[in-house]
Amino acid sequence: MASKAPLSLLLSLLVTSAFVAAEASAGPISRTVDITWGDGRGKFLNNGRLLTLSLDNSSGSGLQSKSKFLYGKFDMQIKLVRGNSAGTVVAYYLRSPGLNWDEIDFEFLGNLTGHPYVLHTNIFTGGQGNREQQFYLWFDPTAAFHTYSVVWNPSNIIIYVDNTPIREFKNLRSVGVPYPMKQPMRVFGSLWDADDWATRGGLVKTNWTLAPFTASFRNLNYDACIISNGRSSCKPKSSKRFMIQKLDLAGQNRLKAVQSKYMIYNYCVDKKRFPIVPIECTLS
Ligand SMILES: *[C@@H]1O[C@H](CO)[C@@H](O)[C@H](O)[C@H]1NC(C)=O
Ligand SMILES: *[C@@H]1O[C@H](CO)[C@@H](O)[C@H](O)[C@H]1NC(C)=O
Ligand SMILES: *[C@@H]1O[C@H](CO)[C@@H](O)[C@H](O)[C@H]1NC(C)=O
**pLDDT given for residue 284 in this prediction:** 67
Over residues 38-43, mean pLDDT: 98
Question: Which ligand sits closest to the CA of 211?
Answer: 1
Q: What is the pTM of this model?
A: 0.91
Over residues 38-42, mean pLDDT: 98
Per-residue pLDDT at 20 exceeds 50 = no
Task: Please give the single-letter amino acid code of residue 257.
Answer: A
- Domain segments of the chain as ranges: 7-283
Average pLDDT, the chain: 92
Sign of CA pseudo-dihedral 81, 263, 245, 228: negative
Question: Which pLDDT band holds residue 27 (cuts at 50, 70, 90)?
Answer: confident
User: What lines the ligand 2 site, CB under 6 Å?
Assistant: 109, 111, 115-116, 118, 198-200
Q: What is the dihedral angle through the alpha carbons of 64, 147, 215, 101, rounded to the nearest 10 degrees?
A: 30
Class of domain 7-283: mainly beta
Query: CA triplet 135, 137, 138: central angle to 5 degrees?
Result: 135
Sign of CA pseudo-dihedral 16, 145, 167, 62: negative
Question: Which ligand sits closest to the CA of 205?
Answer: 3
Cα of 224 from ligand 1 centre, angstroms: 43
Q: Is 57 in the pocket of ligand 1 (CB under 6 A)?
A: yes
Per-residue pLDDT at 205 exceeds 60 = yes
Cα of 197 from ligand 3 centre, angstroms: 20
Cα of 84 from ligand 3 centre, angstroms: 9
Query: Using H for helix, E for strand and C for coil, what is the string for 228-255?
Result: ECCEECCCCCCCCHHHHCCCCHHHHHHH
Per-residue pLDDT at 7 exceeds 50 = no
**pLDDT given for residue 239 in this prediction:** 72
Residue 141, C-beta contacts closer than 8 angstroms, at least 6 positions apart: 78, 79, 80, 108, 117
Question: Which pLDDT band holds residue 109 (cuts at 50, 70, 90)?
Answer: very high
* Cβ atoms within 10 Å, residue 228: 10
Q: Are strands 164-170 and 156-161 parallel, antiparallel or unpaired?
A: antiparallel
**DSSP per-residue letters across 18-78:** HHHTTTB--S-GGGTEEEEESTT-EEEEGGGTEEEEEE-SS--EEEEESSEEEEEEEEEEE
Residue 270, C-beta contacts closer than 8 angstroms, at least 6 positions apart: none
Smallest CA-to-CA distance from 74 within 142, 139, 23, 15 is with 23
Query: 263 vs 78, 140, 157, 167, 256, CA distance in Å?
Result: 20, 16, 18, 10, 10
Whole-number Å distance between alpha carbons of 280 and 131: 10
Per-residue pLDDT at 23 exceeds 80 = no
Strand partners of residue 89: 109, 192
**pLDDT given for residue 222 in this prediction:** 96
Smallest CA-to-CA distance from 111 within 198, 47, 170, 192 is with 198
Per-residue pLDDT at 81 exceeds 90 = yes
Ligand 3 pocket test: which of 206, 207, 210 has the largest number of ligand atoms within 8 Å of its C-beta? Answer: 207
Atom of ligand 1 nearest to the CA of 58: 1
Question: Which pLDDT band holds residue 193 (cuts at 50, 70, 90)?
Answer: very high
Question: Which pLDDT band holds residue 22 (cuts at 50, 70, 90)?
Answer: very low
Q: Are strands 156-161 and 146-152 parallel, antiparallel or unpaired?
A: antiparallel
